[in-house]
Copies of this chain bind each other. A is one copy, B any other.
Amino acid sequence: MEKPHNQHIDKIFKAIADPTRREIFHALVVASVALSITQISERYDISRQGVTKHIKTLQQAGLITINAHGRERYCLPSTKPLKLVKDWVNFYDKFWDDSLSRLGDHLDSQT
């Protein structure tokens, strides 16, 4: 029913929906130094422009910030937006499967 849904969380969920983006984000987090776009693209089979697009999506979700340094642009990850994902998931802790399956108890046949 048309909840005025959160713009930001949509972008976060979208950003982490792609496995390549999750990989890039992961690589940035565990890296010991900031990585430039070229350095990131060297790690994957996709082109530099492909990486740039993913970076942009991650940036829009707030999952990375860009640190320009001369002609290079270093990507710094931010785990802060993941708090919203965590909150979203944690909401469902109250509903464990055993209780949910009782929702169908008034039905007799199953498939």
- Are the C-beta atoms of A19 and B10 separated by less than 8 Å? yes
Give, as a whole number of angstroms, the nearest-CB distance from A65 to chain B: 9
Chain A 13-42, CB within 8 Å of chain B: the 1/0 string? 110110100110000011111100000000
- Among B19, B67, B111, which residue has its beta carbon within 8 angstroms of that of A66? B111
A110: which B residues are within 8 A, CB to CB?
A: 67-69
* A side interface size, CB within 8 A: 53
- Are the C-beta atoms of B78 and A34 separated by less than 8 Å? no
- Are the C-beta atoms of B100 and A89 separated by less than 8 Å? no
Give, as a whole number of angstroms, the nearest-CB distance from A35 to chain B: 9
Nearest 7 interchain pairs by C-beta:
A17-B17, A68-B111, A34-B104, A79-B92, A69-B107, A34-B103, A67-B104
